[in-house]
Each structure stands twice: as C-alpha cells, then as structure tokens.
Chain A
Amino acid sequence: MKTIVFDAKERPSLFIKLHGEEQTLDYEVAEISDSHLIVTGSRSLPLRGEVQLSGQTLKFQKREDHDNYFLLTFKEEDLRFIQTEFLKRLSPEKLSEWLIGEMAESPWEKSSYEEPTINSPHTLQEKSYVSQAIGSILAFLYQRPLISIFLLVTLSVIPAIGIKKIRVDPSLDRLLIQDSPEMKAYNANVERFGSDRNAILFFKDKDIFSTEKLKLLRKFAWELQKFPDGEKVLSVFTTTFIHYDNEEETLYTEPLFSDLDISKEKKAKLLARIQDDPILHERLIDVPKNIIIFVIPIATEITSLKVPGLKLRKLLEPLKSDFEVAFQTGEPTIEVFASEDMKESQLIFLPLICLVLFICFVFFIQSVSAFVVTIFVMGFSTFWIFGIMPYFDIPIQLMINLVPGIILTLSATEIVHIFSSIKEGRNKSLSGEALMRFIGDDIGKALFLTFFTTSLGFLSIRLSQILLLQEFALVSFFGLNFAFIVTLIYVPLHLRLFSKVQLWKGSFSIVNFKRFQSLFTNSFTNLFFSKTPIVVITLFTLFSLLFSLRLKVDNDAFAMIKDFTQVKKNLNLFTSEVGGTRSIHLIIDSDATHTSPEELQQLWLLNNEIDSLKEVKQTESVAKLLSLLNREMRGAGQEGYRVPSSKNLISQYLLTLSRDDLDPLITPDKTRVSLKINHDVSSSSELKFFIKKINDLAKSHYPEDKFFLTSRNILNFQAAQTLVESQVGSLMTMSIVILIILSLFFKSFQLGLLSLVPNLFPIVGLFGIMGLLDIPLNVGTCIVAAITIGIAADDTIHLFSRYVKDKSNFLNPFLASQYTIKDEVVPILTTSLSLALSFSSFTFAKFVPLTHFGLLSCYVLILAVISDLYIGPALLTWYFLRKEGNHRGFIHQLLNGRALSLSPLFKDMSYSEIVALIKASKVHSYARGSKPRESNKFYDHSFIITSSSIEDVPGSLLDSNSLPLMSDSLVASINKEDIKHLSPRIFQKFCNNLGN
C-alpha cells in the first residue's frame, strides 16, 4: 500500500498512552506507510507505548525520533488496522488523489533529484558484502558452537607445537640494522681487533690497595681468566704495565700487581708510577679515588650478553661484602636488566591493563561478559602469535613484550562496539541468529575496517631498518589479525553458551548519559561557527609544527633505562667516577705500513688532538703504546713520550711486544690501525656532533677514503638516524592506505581526503609535544604515531559512517553532525578513555621508551578525541554546506531538512534546490520576540522559517506592527523576479507550489 502523507494542517490525531500514566496524549499523524507510522507532538515518546485507536490498544516501538517527529513500528496486523482506520478518515477527494493521482512523495522516501537524497531511516544503511559476510559467519557459528570449538582447537595446534621453542632475546643487537654495510664493516673490525662489548667490574674501597684486598682481587682476576665467555681479562693483575724502575734500572713489562709480596714502599712507588701511565690509569685503576676496574670483552661468538652478565653477577656476589662499592656495569648488565624487566612487566602491566579495562567495561557498558570475551581474545591471539614466532625465528624481545597488552587494549575497544551493538539488537527484541546478523549489519564492516587499519598501522612500522621494530611490526600485525579471527569465532560461542546472562541495568548505563550527550553536543556543535576554536586549533597546529622541527632521535640503550633503577645508578656512578662506558673506533688504512715513522707520527698527532676533546675519556692506539714504550726505554720522562723517529727503533720496539698487545691496535700486516676512543656521550644528537668533530680531525690528517668510524656506538647512532626516515615512511604509507580505504568506504575521494585531517592532527600534536619536551624519537615513541593513526582511523570510520547515515537522514549537514556527535560521543570517549588509561600504565615502566609510549599514547588519544568529535564533524559540516551552496552559517541552524521537505512550498524539491531558492531571497534572521522589518512587506512572498515550520506570509502582513516572532526565525523574502535566474526547474517547481 502506498504511503499516506498528511498535510501539516490536516493531520489527524492519535492518542498515545505512555507507560505508567493514566492519561493519553494527543499526537498528530504525519505519515503512514507499510512499515511505520510517523507522528508529531510536543512531548517525547518513550521506546515503547500504546496507541488508542477506535477502541483498540495497539503496542508500538519507537525506532527514531527527531525534532518532535517520532517513527513508530507496530505488528503488521496492527499497522494495517491503523492504515485502514485513517484511510476511512480521508475525504473523498483526498482518497481519490491517493488512489489514482500523484501522491506527494514522502519526504522519507528517496527523491528523484540530485543528492542529498532523503531515505527511509531504517533502510538507510547500505548492507555491504563485508557486513553480510561477517553477519553470516557469526550466525553460522552461533548455530554450531561445536564448530567454533573445533576451529579454536585446530588453529591452536601449530602454535602449540611452536610455542615450546619460543625463546627470549633481550639482546641489544636487535636495536641495530643487521645487513647494512656499516654492520659488515663493524663485524670485520671485531674479527680483526677484538670485541667491543665489554663487561665492566668496578671496585672502590678506601683500603683497596691493602695487601689483603689486592689478594682478593688478584684471586678474582685469576678466576675471571677462566671465564669461558670472555676474550680476555683487562686488569692491573693481568695487563702489561710498561714502566722503567730507575733504582733497579730495570724495564718492567708485567702487570702492576703480578707480585703482591712487595714492601709498602715499593707498592707506593708502583702506585705513583701507574698514575703516569696514560693507557692504564683512569681506565683500569684510579689511585686517588681508590678504584680498581676489570674489563672483560665478551667473545664475539656469544650472541646474547645476558648469560655472561648473569655468570659475572654470580662470580661478583661473594666479593660485594668485602668492598665498599662493587658492581658490574656495561652492556651485559643492560641485557640482564632488559630480560628481567620483560618478565616483570608482564606480571605488572597486563594485570593493570586488565583492571582498567574491567572498570571501564563495568562503568560504561555494564558488561562483565565483554571483559571475559576480551581476555579470551587476548589469550588466544597471544598464544597463537607466540606459537607462530619460532617458525620465523622471531624471539620475544623488548618491544614484542608489549604485544599482549596492545592486543588486549585494542581488542577491548572493538568488543565495546560489539557489545553495544548486541545491546541495541536486544533492544529490538532480536536474538540468536538474527542478533548475529544484526551485529554483522550494524558494525561488521566497521569492525573489519578498524582491525584492518589498526593492524596496518602496526605493519607500517616494518619500514624501519631496525630489526627490533621490524619484528615488532610483524608480530603485532599478525597478533591483531588473529584477535579479529578469534573475536569472530568466540563471540557467537560465548553468546550461545552464556545467552542467559543479562547485561546489567545499573544507573550508569549509556542510556543515562543522555543528559551528558545533549549537553556535550549542544555546546560543542555551537563552536563550529565560532572563530575561537578555529584560532586555537590553528595556533596549536602551527606551534606543534614548529616544535616538531626540534625533534631529536635517540637509540642509545643506556639512555633507555630509568635513573632510579640500580643498573642505571651503577652506570651513572661509573660514568662520574671513571667514564668511558662507550667507545668509537677510528679505523685508518695505510697504503704501505703504519709502522713507518711518518705514519706513526701522523697517528700520534691525531691521537693527541682527539685526546684534547672534552668528550674523550681515554684513547688507545699503537702510537700511544709505542710512545709509552719509548718513554720508558729511554727513561727520559715526558720528553721521551713520543713516537720513535726511526724505522729501526720502531721495529726493535715491536719485538718486545706480543700479538696480544698489538692485535687490538694494529693488523699483523701493519696496514690498518684502530684508534679506540672511550667516551660517555649518550644522546644521539650530542653524538652526532661528537662524530663530526672526530671526522673533521681525521680529515685534517688523512684522505676521507682512508678512514672510517665503527663500533656498536656508531651502529646505534646510525640506526637512530633511520628512525626519522622510517617514521615518515610509515606515516605516509598509513596516510595513503587510510585515504584509499576511506575513499572506497565512502565512495568519495574528497571525503577520503577530508578524513585524513582528523587522523593527522593528533600526529602533528604528538611531534610538537615531543619537540617541546625534548622527548626523542626512539624505538618506543616511534610506534606511538603508527598506533595513533590506526586508532584515530577507527574512530573516523565510525564517525564518518554515522555522519553519512545521519546526513542522508536529515539533509542538514549541521543537524547531521549534531546527531553524529550525540551518538558517537560516548563510544568514542569510552574507547579513548579506556585506551588512554590502559596505556598510561606503561608510565611505571623502568624502560624509558615504554614510559614515553604510555604518556604519549594518552596525550594523542586526547587529541584524537578532539579531532574526532570536533575537527571531523566540523570539517564535514563545512564541506557539505559548501557543497550544497549553504555558505551562510546561520541558514543551517534553522533549515531543518525534514520540515522543509514536509512543507508544500518546497514540494518535490531537493535540499540543494531549496537552499538555492532561499539564498536567492532576501534573508534576515530574527531572535525570538523580535519583529520583522518593514521592508519585508514590499516582497511578493515572505517565508518565516523556524526550526520546525515554514509559513508563507504575505509581505503586507510583515511590518513593524506585526506580532513579535515566537521563536528564532529566518524571514526569507522573495519576488518571482528574483528567482528567475535560477534553473528553470527550480523556478517551475516553486511557482507550481506557490500556485497550489
């Protein structure tokens, strides 16, 4: 049966009884169709009620309500009864018109003219293939819970086998770029000159030079010589101390404390002498500070430093009580710390995140089930991904440790949407298979897209050249996709098994946030056309861009540990007392030999210049060694401290040195030397300047192709430099992907482009705050941007799709955004808040990048909320207003598309045609209580447009003597002549409507 539309002035009454009230209320019937009844009235209708008609009481459900228009649905037979009753009430003329002639097209039905079109509300959402597929999967699995169980078990077999081989690797090597030319050069250098991964054992005691303490340390040195993981032991008990004893007229080339059965005087003499040794003093011993140090280069075949670190810790333990200060530091301690922290963090952060999510779920959506489902999804997807990793030789490392927490939080946000959809479905009395299909239709596409875009956000991190991040990207990508699969399998199973579990009905349900929703929406959307927020956002963006230029990078493992940790305290103490925790090796090639006097002199000069740099703690080179030998052999004091000037003397000195002395400094064929520079420069930005200084000094002595810098320090620095490139690459890739996805989703490239703005705004803010607060780009912070863009895209998808739906419903872009915000504010705030709180738990991590990750994630989530709830809707409003020619801001506030469509004046006209018409008129806005202007009376027609009606008033009635206006109004005054320039179609329609 065709839809019956009643003129505004001839609407029949309908009595509606509200639950719990005795009285019935009078509403006017605007429209009756085969599926719904639209009534209008001043009082809001509840979700359910009863209609009194012709002695019958008919129950209804309210599906939609907008501006005092309410769409009600009934049982089929009840609606037919209503239709019949009202048809009886039509006049014969109207009945004939309805039966035979052109009926006015229902404003609710699709217009034949250009968009925006009006669609029936409940058929608005186009069902996509993805939604249907997801709905079908959910429905299928709901009916067959055993298949769900079978799938979960079967898909777990391979991971179950693999997970036994999972390994943990806290190695700092993963912070480096593995296959680069620099890495190859470094490996060749290590092969040639020995390892630069040092374990350092530090002892300080006021009586450290007493015979008793020295014997303890000497015994310790002997034990360390048997340490299987070390290449050698450098200490005052094992390393050659070249010195000439004037009294004995003897040159000594044995360790300082090889013999402890010496007199006090001799010991004092030795301690005085060693302070003149530029190679050993302040490196292995500091006499004034009562410090003795052991340096153990870890053998190159040992890949992970954790095991040697633990062994040394065990060896050191018995000695700690014998010395005031005794500790281990260096790279092995970092890996031990990282390994222990990885275990600890799982025990702390995961439970903390679970607690936060539990509170959010209970408070916002009152669902413990949602929490259970989330935990299940996290558990299974983590199990699967950790079980698959061994097949690809990916260990659990510093960043992959975050993955369970990330899966937990991101799955939670989607499960919130699922359970909201379930609630909505149950409100519509749907259950079982129908409910599953409803979920699919309602959010299936969005669900798929959000998992997809978020996981892509993580995958974009793969562009980094740092192995740690590449592995993290892959693992999180697959982990999130596994989470999606588990969600699809488990949700129907859970609902099937626990279908009787009701959602709580507490006082804090989403429904009770209505007051908040309205308040928020009204105050927020009124800002759309205010200049203040635009200025604030523009200034914020500009300042953020400016500060982002200060962004630094940092990949230094030592700097990644918080100062309050014991390992960092030890490192800081060592740095302040001795220093030289890091090293750079300057490798210099010679065409002939470095042991010619000229080459050696050149090296000696360069060594001295480098020694004078303030960042340098110690240096070692063959030039220094030979100079020291020369000084001692000659017994000439500091005057003799220079390289030998004759080739013969150099050769003769070399006879006294063994390969063990020379191998770390010069190759056997003497064509390549290594100048070791020990320093404490930690940040990548300071290191950049330091490296430049060394390069500049080296260039002044050697051609550029004859030297290069290497060491783990350099590799870390080079890896840090790639962080910026990979970050930019990752963001650009994500932007393009989101642009394509959203353009396809909305079938509009312009909308896709527009959707980038709310996604990129938080990123700009992120880099701005990092630049402002000197938070560097490191392995932790560089993933924040990728995660942010993924999460922001989720909200954008939900928001934009809601907007498109509301826009087609209301036509008015501004109203559409109001409703969109009203509908989305709570889910967006819920998910953002829960994510922010969850990520903020990382603030307590001992690993600085994790803390930065947590804090910055909170910050960008706040920006994303502003972006999604203000910038996105504002942009959409402006876009559509401009597109539809509705430039003037005030028009939108009163032009209710529905009211316009219902008006006979604008019958058969599309929204853009209506806007064009009104624009062509003389439009004045009036506040409630004001009177129209005199000038209006000179127009053919004036229309008083309010938010709920349009009246055609003859111009003569509009003057200063007329009654004040009852509400905020627009008065559009028009002459036919004024609209002739409009398209003939608009002119014709309007004239026809005027005639009618």
Chain B
Amino acid sequence: MKYLILLLAFSGLNTYAKCDKEGPAIMKSQNEVQSVKTEEESQEIVIQDLSTGKKESRSVKRFNQKENNDNKKSVLYFLEPASIKGAGLLSWTEGDSENQWLYVPELKKLQRIASGSRKNYFMGTDFTYADLEGENLKKNKYTCSQEVKCQGGKSLCYVIEAKPINEGEARNIGYSKRMLLVDKKDLITLKIVFFDLKGKKLKTAEYANWTQIDKVWRPNLAIMDRHGIQKTFIKVNERKLNKTIDEIVFAKRYLQKEMHIK
C-alpha cells in the first residue's frame, strides 16, 4: 500500500512534467520561505516496534534558535515518562563545529558528548541527528527530476533527488541519496525516501497535518517508517514560531540546574 502511495505520490496518475526550476533554486526558496528565527514545540513522540506492535510514548519539549544558517542552538528535554524526565540534549552549532551536552538527571550530570556521527539515531527514534537538522544546502546536491500531482491530486509537487556532495558526507549522514517530494506552491516537503549507502531503501518520512503560522508552514505530524523494523510518530501539540526565547534556555546551567523541569 505504501509503495502504491509512493508511486501515486511521486509519479501521479497520468501526468508528469519537467521541473520549471532547478533543484538548488527550489530548495533555496524553501529555506528562505520556511525559515524562522525561533521555534518552541511541545511534542509527543511515539515509537512503535513493528514486530510486536508495542509502543513507547515520550513527551518532549524543544527549543530552536537560529541566528543564521551557520549558527544555531537547540535544546530538547523529556517530560514523560518519569524514568527519563529531565533527560535532555543541548546543541550549539557554529559553522562546522558542533558542541553537544547530554543531561542525565539520575547522575545529575551534564555530560559533554562528541558530536559523533550525524547518522546516529536520535534518542532511540528513527530520526537521525542529520534528519533533524533540516536541509543543509551546502552539503547536498539537489536535482529536480519532474513535477507530479500530489496531495490527492490537488497540487503539484517537485520530485527532487538530494545527494550528498561527496562520499565523505554520504558516510557522515549514512545515506547515498534521498528522494524528496516538495509541494510546488507552498514549498513544503511532504515526503522523503532515504536510501542507505548500498542504494537500498532504508526508511520513509512523511509529514502531515500542516499548519501555517505567520506564512510559515509546519507539519504537526511526522512519521518515520523504518520498513519492517520500527515507526516513529512525532506529533506537535503546541508550537510557537519567531517568539523570543530566553537565552538561559540555551545555557548549560539550564539543564544542569534542572531549571527545565522545575
């Protein structure tokens, strides 16, 4: 069924057309249109094991701050379940350098962790650190192959192939390529299919329940399907965009002093 949806989503019923723009231009436009300075979200993450059907639910708070494309700060921490309440991850990105800290409430310790491989899965979910970074225009080569009907035929979408610029980058993110389905009108990414380094399909992300806040679109539901293994649902319950966030939130002591859970 998924493959049928993919086929329909990517190729349309009976029409496809050449892209009216180049891939990089499309993605650049998307970046410009959808970028915000700050984001604050309350999320519910559900991880479902596909073999047993068992689900694990987590409640998460997330703050992002973007000064420019190179400088970003983010903090994420868990509110539920109780066993992981207060565990959090703080990231500072400056250019190519990234610093991360993990807060382990049980040890009362803010542990600096090496940025590690961006291809590592984030906190047990099916999203890697690279997936959560968003599109890095400098590190990918984008090629638009065609325009297809999507969203139940209501709109047109670009089919864009995103390939890491070199083998090193491919190894860093763990993908040989990604196929993106980008809505032509709103420049939102509806679906991404990920291919591993051997060229085999690895997982599929779908973004739904789009809402527009201050002309910016955001999905309230993201589903990452690691075929046959696990699915991760990220549901956004509350979102604020471009609101001022206290700098303290992105300070180490915010987690260290457990200010995030007081």
Q: Which A residues are closer than 8 A to B by beta carbons?
A: 192, 222, 225-228, 248-255, 258, 633-634, 644, 646-660, 667-669
Indicate whether B146 reaches chain A with its CB closer than 8 angstroms.
no
Instruction: Decide: A258 and B117 in contact? CB cutoff 8 A.
Output: yes
The 9 closest A-B pairs by CB, nearest first: A658-B121, A668-B49, A651-B83, A649-B106, A252-B114, A250-B112, A648-B83, A254-B116, A669-B54
Cα-based distance from A669 to B48 in the complex (angstroms): 10
Instruction: Decide: A646 and B106 in contact? CB cutoff 8 A.
Output: yes
B58: nearest chain-A partner, CB-CB: A655
Indicate whether B4 reaches chain A with its CB closer than 8 angstroms.
no
Q: Known contacts A226-B197, A648-B105: does B111 contact A251 (CB below 8 Å)?
A: yes
Q: Which B residues are closer than 8 A to A by beta carbons?
A: 49, 51-52, 54, 78, 81-84, 87, 102, 104-107, 109, 111-114, 116-117, 120-121, 123-124, 126, 167, 171, 197-200, 229-230
Instruction: Decide: B112 and A251 in contact? CB cutoff 8 A.
Output: yes
A634: nearest chain-B partner, CB-CB: B107
Instruction: Decide: B114 and A658 in contact? CB cutoff 8 A.
Output: no
Cα-based distance from A252 to B115 in the complex (angstroms): 8
Q: Known contacts A648-B83, A668-B49, A669-B49: does B121 contact A251 (CB below 8 Å)?
A: no
Q: Which residues of A lie under 8 Å from residue B114 when comparing CB positions?
A: 250-254
Nearest chain A CB to B85 CB, angstrom units: 8
Nearest chain B CB to A261 CB, angstrom units: 12
Instruction: Decide: B83 and A652 in contact? CB cutoff 8 A.
Output: yes
A650: nearest chain-B partner, CB-CB: B83
Q: Known contacts A253-B113, A649-B104: does B124 contact A655 (CB below 8 Å)?
A: yes
19 extra interface residue pairs, beta carbon distance < 8 Å, beyond A251-B111, A634-B107, A650-B83: A222-B167, A225-B198, A226-B197, A226-B198, A252-B113, A252-B114, A254-B117, A258-B117, A633-B109, A644-B106, A649-B106, A651-B81, A652-B104, A652-B106, A655-B123, A656-B102, A668-B49, A668-B52, A669-B49
Q: Which residues of A lie under 8 Å from residue B117 when comparing CB positions?
A: 254-255, 258
A657: nearest chain-B partner, CB-CB: B124
Cα-based distance from A650 to B104 in the complex (angstroms): 10
B81: nearest chain-A partner, CB-CB: A651
Q: Which residues of A lie under 8 Å from residue B197 when comparing CB positions?
A: 225-226
Q: Which residues of B lie under 8 Å from residue A192 when comparing CB positions?
A: 51
Cα-based distance from A290 to B197 in the complex (angstroms): 29
Q: Known contacts A226-B198, A633-B111, A658-B124: does B102 contact A251 (CB below 8 Å)?
A: yes
Nearest chain B CB to A186 CB, angstrom units: 17
Q: Which residues of B lie under 8 Å from residue A633 when comparing CB positions?
A: 104, 107, 109, 111
Cβ-defined partner of B52 (8 Å) among A253, A634, A650, A669: A669
Nearest chain B CB to A132 CB, angstrom units: 67
Cα-based distance from A596 to B198 in the complex (angstroms): 37
Q: Which residues of A lie under 8 Å from residue B112 when comparing CB positions?
A: 248-251
Cα-based distance from A668 to B200 in the complex (angstroms): 23
Nearest chain A CB to B233 CB, angstrom units: 15
Q: Which residues of A lie under 8 Å from residue B104 when comparing CB positions?
A: 633, 649, 652-653
Nearest chain A CB to B126 CB, angstrom units: 8
Nearest chain A CB to B195 CB, angstrom units: 12
Q: Which residues of B lie under 8 Å from residue A253 when comparing CB positions?
A: 113-114, 116, 120
Cα-based distance from A248 to B113 in the complex (angstroms): 10
Instruction: Decide: A648 and B106 in contact? CB cutoff 8 A.
Output: yes
B168: nearest chain-A partner, CB-CB: A222
Instruction: Decide: B107 and A649 in contact? CB cutoff 8 A.
Output: yes
Q: Known contacts A647-B83, A657-B124: does B54 contact A668 (CB below 8 Å)?
A: yes
Cα-based distance from A222 to B123 in the complex (angstroms): 25
Cα-based distance from A197 to B102 in the complex (angstroms): 36
Can you list 14 contacts pairing A with B, beta carbon distance less than 8 Å?
Answer: A225-B197, A226-B198, A248-B112, A252-B116, A253-B114, A253-B116, A644-B106, A646-B106, A650-B83, A652-B84, A652-B104, A655-B87, A668-B49, A668-B52
A656: nearest chain-B partner, CB-CB: B102
Instruction: Decide: B87 and A652 in contact? CB cutoff 8 A.
Output: yes
Cα-based distance from A222 to B170 in the complex (angstroms): 10
Q: Which residues of B lie under 8 Å from residue A654 when comparing CB positions?
A: 124
Nearest chain A CB to B167 CB, angstrom units: 7
B56: nearest chain-A partner, CB-CB: A668
Nearest chain B CB to A92 CB, angstrom units: 112
Instruction: Decide: B121 and A660 in contact? CB cutoff 8 A.
Output: yes
Which of B54, B114, B171 has the most A CB atoms < 10 Å from its CB? Answer: B114
Nearest chain B CB to A674 CB, angstrom units: 15
Nearest chain A CB to B29 CB, angstrom units: 33
Instruction: Decide: B113 and A250 in contact? CB cutoff 8 A.
Output: yes
Cα-based distance from A250 to B198 in the complex (angstroms): 32
Nearest chain B CB to A301 CB, angstrom units: 12
Q: Which residues of B lie under 8 Å from residue A255 when comparing CB positions?
A: 117
Q: Which residues of A lie under 8 Å from residue B126 when comparing CB positions?
A: 659
Cα-based distance from A654 to B124 in the complex (angstroms): 7
Instruction: Decide: B229 and A659 in contact? CB cutoff 8 A.
Output: yes
Q: Which residues of A lie under 8 Å from residue B54 when comparing CB positions?
A: 668-669
Cα-based distance from A755 to B29 in the complex (angstroms): 95
